[in-house]
Each structure stands twice: as C-alpha cells, then as structure tokens.
Amino acid sequence: MGRIEPGRRSLTDEQKLMLGSVDSLMEKYDEAYWGKLDRDGAYPDEFVDAMERQGLAAVPVSKEYGGPGLGVLDASLILEEINARGGNCQPFHGQYYLLFALSKFASKDMKEKYLPKIAAGELRLQSLALTEPESGSESTRIRTSAEREGDSYVVKGHKVFISRVENSDLMVLVARTTPYEKVEKKTEGISLFLVPLDKVERVEFHRLEMMFNSQTYELFIDELKVPASSMIGEEGKGFRYLLSVLNPERILLSAECIGDTRWFVEKSVEYAKQRVVFGRPIGSNQGVQFPIAEVYAKLLAADRVRRAAAELFDSGGDDRSVGEYANASKYLASECSWQAANVAMDVYGGSGLAVANHIERKFRETRLYRVAPISNNLVLSYIGEHVLGLPRSF
C-alpha cells in the first residue's frame, strides 16, 4: 500500500526536499527507536541531536540570526512528517513555537545573544512555564509573582505540567508583575522572562509520571532573582505575547495530530487488507472499512484547515483571524487523530494492545492533544464567544 499523504499534491519542490530529509532521518529513528524510548521513559536526545545537525531543530530562526527562517506552515510539515512516521514530537516541539514569540517580541540584544546559538544547536529553548495547580485553562489566574527589586525581579510561585525542564537550556517563565486583583483587565499585568535553566538554584523540580513518555515537571520557585533584562518585551504585556505563542502552538500541534492520523490510517489499511477472518480480509467488511474511510475524509478536512491557519499566520494575519483558524484547526485535528486511534485499535483487535505493534503507544500519545495545550472545550468556547459572538459563559 502507498503512504497516506493527503497534502502531498500541495507541496512545493522545496517542501518536498525538506520532507525528504525528515524521511531519511525517520528511516534511522524508526518505530523501534520510539518504542524503546517509551518503555524506558527516556528523552530522544540522539534524535534531537540529529535534528540539530541537519538544521531542523530551530527552523523559525531567521536568516539574520543563522536559521532558515521558515514559517509555521513549513515548520508544521516537519512535525507532521515525524509523527506520520511513528515518531512523537512532544519532546521537542516547544522550541518551534517559542521561537516564533522570541523572534517577534524579544529585544535586539536578547535575540543576538540567544538566537544564533539556538540555530546552531548549542542551546535549547524547549520549556514554557505557564500552567499552575490552580490555573490551567484559566491562565490569567496565575499566582506566580515577579516583584521588581532594583535591576532584578524576584519570582515566587508554583508551576505544574511544565514540559522538558531537564532537556532545555532556557525557559520562558510566565509571572504576574501586577496581581490579578489590581488589574483592570485580567489579561494585563502578566510578564514573560527568559530564564537560563543551568543557573536556577532557587527552583526545585521533580518529574511527574504521565500516561505516555512525557518529560513533564512540577516546579517550586522560591525567590528566584532574574535580571530585568531577561524580560521579553514590555512589563505587563506578556499575555498578548503569549497569544503569539499559542496560535502557532495550536497550528503546530494540529500538524502532529494530522501526522498521527496518517499513521493510524496507514496502519489500519495495511492490517485490514492482510488480516483474514471468516475466510476473507477484515477490510472487505463495511463495518471495518467505513470507519477507516470516514476518518480519512476527516483527515482531508483537518489538513486543509491547518494549511489555511498556517498560511494566515505566515502572511501576517491579525491575531483574531489567525485565532479563529488556529483554534478550529486544533479542534478538528485532535478530534480526528483520537478517532483514528480508536479506529486502529478496533481494526487491530487484540493485536492493537500488543506493545510490539505501537498502536497502543501512539493511542496514548495522541490522547494528549485533546487536553493540551488547551482543552477542546475551551477551543469551542473561544469559537462560540470570540468568533460567533455568543454570550460569555465565564
């Protein structure tokens, strides 16, 4: 059977070339590699090193700072391909979306200091610390505070579900420089800091056990002193900058879901053709065939909406228009990959639960996208209120 590649027809020659190098990488880092990492709970260091050597780990960095300066569409095609070949981008996708924000809002000094090193693979920017035990979906309620003291800020707080803390050199730390109770609009008073992780003695952290191989941590920040120059952009405007992270993040994670869906459909088709029960391939039964065909049709739609969202972002669309498409894309793609995961589980019967077939691993991995970086209820709420103008529910 041929590969499931619904977007192939729309690719430019450059994109085909770029994806060719991802494909060769994935020949080496195959399903067995990702399966072993999953069993060991290990970080794909070797794979990330190889991406860095091939110039694939920091593609949003502009040419001025030593990167290729790719947009969200191209970046999303890379992540899609990795997941479509049985990999899992969760251990390194943070750098992609954080680079879009840093490139846009950091000072010239900050960009000159960090971007060339990130582009060269000498530094990793993989971590964003936003979520707190009492503020996940309601991110404006964060309580981590940053108080000005001379040329520094002193940060205190508690973060949870923060990814890749031990696999990154830098973290974007989100804190309130004005408490929630003292701002007129709840989105005001939030600031972003770029914190080198090797120097943070006043941060205690421990890894959380999750349902799949995920490097996710809880952090306790006790009077961490950070220089005022580590602030990204202006004080109190961090929430607006975060939107610039969150929209590309949604589009990039949609691409991972699209990659997962391609993988599940490919596996389902292969198995449904060769598995014989009652004297015929199971795929000749419409009860098996239709669910695969249905999710394939949804994949085509999710792929088109992801492209529309990415193209809007790359052509400088305003936050509101990009937000509409980025949210719709995240919703459609994550529902699609979860449906595809369940279809594959059904098609494989008992073999779907066998670790050797990787269906159960990808099933666990793709479930994340319905919850993070934003739960699908909150995506629908965004569309209801901000796109359709329905009354606010909270």
Ligand X SMILES: Cc1cc2nc3c(=O)[nH]c(=O)nc-3n(C[C@H](O)[C@H](O)[C@H](O)COP(=O)(O)OP(=O)(O)OC[C@H]3O[C@@H](n4cnc5c(N)ncnc54)[C@H](O)[C@@H]3O)c2cc1C
Binding residues for ligand X (CB under 6 A): 128-131, 136-137, 161-163, 210, 214, 216, 368, 371-375, 377-378, 381, 393-394
Select 50 or 372, whichever has its Cβ closest to ligand X: 372
Measured from each CB, the residue nearest to ligand X is 136
Contacts of 202 (CB under 8 A, 6+ apart): 221, 222, 223, 224, 225
Decide whether 107 or 377 has the Cβ nearer to ligand X. 377
User: What sign has the CA pseudo-torsion 298, 73, 16, 256?
Assistant: negative
Report the C-alpha dihedral over residues 357, 359, 362, 366, rounded to 10 degrees: 180
CB of 225 to ligand X, least distance (A): 22
- Looking at the Cβ atoms of 268 and 337, the one nearer to ligand X is 337
How many angstroms separate the Cα of 252 from the Cα of each of 6, 239, 256, 315, 373? 17, 20, 7, 16, 11
Q: Which residues contact 94 (CB under 8 A, 6 or more apart)?
A: 125, 126, 127, 128, 163, 164, 168
Whether residue 66 contacts residue 115, with contact meaning beta carbons closer than 8 Å, is answered with: yes
DSSP code at position 390: P
**What is the distance between the terminal CA atoms of the chain, rounded to a whole angstrom?**
49
Residue closer to ligand X by CB (options 1, 388) is 388
Q: Which residues contact 107 (CB under 8 A, 6 or more apart)?
A: 229
Helix (H) or strand (E) holding 224: strand 216-227
CB of 200 to ligand X, least distance (A): 16
CB 228 within 8 A of CB 148: yes
d(CA 96, CA 124): 11
Q: Are 176 and 190 in contact (CB under 8 A)?
A: yes
Cis peptide before 227 (omega within 30 of 0): no
Q: Output 62 or 375, the one with its CB closest to ligand X.
A: 375
CA distance 302 to 298: 6
Give least dist CB 174 to ligand X, A.
7
Q: In the complex, what is the shortest distance from the CB of residue 205 to ligand X, in angstroms, rounded to a whole number? A: 12
Q: What's the rounded Cα separation, in Å, for the pair 49 and 99?
A: 18
| C-beta of 311 vs 385, nearer to ligand X | 385
Q: Nearest approach, Cβ of 262 to ligand X (angstroms)? A: 22
What the block records as the tokens of 141 is 């309620």
Min separation Cβ 113 and ligand X, Å: 23
Of 87 and 283, which CB lies nearer to ligand X in the complex structure? Answer: 87
In the complex, least distance from residue 206 CB atom to ligand X, rounded to whole angstroms: 15
Between 219 and 265, whose beta carbon lies closer to ligand X? 219
Residue 362 CA to residue 337 CA, distance in Å, equals 10
Minimum separation from the CB atom of position 159 to ligand X (A): 7
Quote the least distance from Cβ 282 to ligand X, whole Å. Answer: 34
CB nearer to ligand X: give 22 or 128: 128
